[in-house]
Homo-oligomer: A and B are copies of this chain.
C-alpha cells in the first residue's frame, strides 16, 4: 500500500526556513547553510537518509519550495534544481494559480494543483501506482498535510542549532496549526551535523 512520507530539515526550535525568502536566499536569510550543511558538505555520512528523501514515486511540495515567484506565474520558472531535478517522477506543486505542467529532463514533471493538499496527495498517490508518496516541504505544506491526517511517516532531520525566531509571524514553524499528534519513534541516528528521527504518525 502507498505510504505517505515527509522529510524536513528543522532547527531544534522547529524552523525549516528563515524569513525573507528570495531567489538569492531560497530558504530565507541565514538558514540555508545552517539547516542544510549536513547534506551539502557531509553527504557521504548521511547517504541513507539522503537516499530516503528521494525514494518515493511521486512528490508533493509547496509553491515556496518550488520557487520564489509569488502571485500569478510570470516568466518561465522551472524550480531551483536546474534542467534535471532529482525527483525523476511527477511532482505536484500546491499553488493558487493554475499553470500547465512543466516537463523536465530525467523524468521529473511539475504539475500545478490549485485545489489543496488533499487533492495534491490524492493525485500523487494515483501517479505513484502503489509506490510511496513524499511530501517534500516546506513547513507550511507539511503542516497542512499533518493537520489533514495524511502523513504516515515523518522524518525529521534536526540540526543542532536554534534560529531564535519565536514570536515572529512571518516565519512558519513546524506543527503550527496542527492538532495534537501521537507519534511512534521508529528510527533515530545522530551525527555531529544532524540528528535524524523518524516517527510513524498514529
Q: Which A residues between 12 and 59 are near B, CB-CB below 8 angstroms?
A: 12-14
Contact between chains at A188 and B185 (CB < 8 Å)? no
Asked whether, in the complex, the Cβ of A166 is within 8 Å of the Cβ of B173, the reply is: yes
Contact (Cβ within 8 A) B14 A13: yes
A195 within 8 A of B: yes
Determine whether the beta carbon of B178 is less than 8 Å from that of A162.
Answer: yes
Considering the complex, which residues of chain A in the window 149-190 have a beta carbon less than 8 Å from any beta carbon of chain B? 156, 158, 160-164, 166-167, 173-185, 188, 190
Bound together, the chains give a CA A96 to CA B169 distance in angstroms of 31
User: A127 at the A/B interface (Cβ < 8 Å)?
Assistant: no
Q: How many residues of A contact B (CB 8 A)?
A: 31
When distances are taken between beta carbons in the complex, the residues of chain B under 8 Å from A192 are 184-185
A197 within 8 A of B: yes
Nearest chain B CB to A153 CB, angstrom units: 13
Residue of B nearest to A190 (CB): B188
A-B contact pairs, 16 of them (CB 8 A): A12-B183, A12-B199, A158-B197, A160-B199, A161-B180, A162-B178, A164-B179, A166-B176, A166-B177, A166-B178, A167-B177, A184-B192, A185-B190, A185-B195, A190-B197, A195-B197
Number of identical monomers bound together in the oligomeric complex: 2
From A176, which residue of chain B is reached at the shortest CB distance? B166
Are A175 and B185 touching (Cβ within 8 A)? no
Q: A13-B174, A13-B175, A199-B12 are in contact. Are A183 and B161 (CB under 8 A)?
A: yes
Partner of A176, one of B158, B167, B185: B167
Q: What is the distance, in angstroms, from A185's C-beta to the closest C-beta of chain B? A: 5
Q: Contacts A13-B14, A13-B175, A166-B176 given; 4 further ones with Cβ under 8 A?
A: A158-B197, A161-B182, A164-B175, A185-B192
Q: Report the Cα distance A197→B188, complex, angstroms.
A: 11
Is B176 in contact with A162, judged by CB distance below 8 angstroms?
no
Bound complex: CA A85 to CA B26 (Å): 51
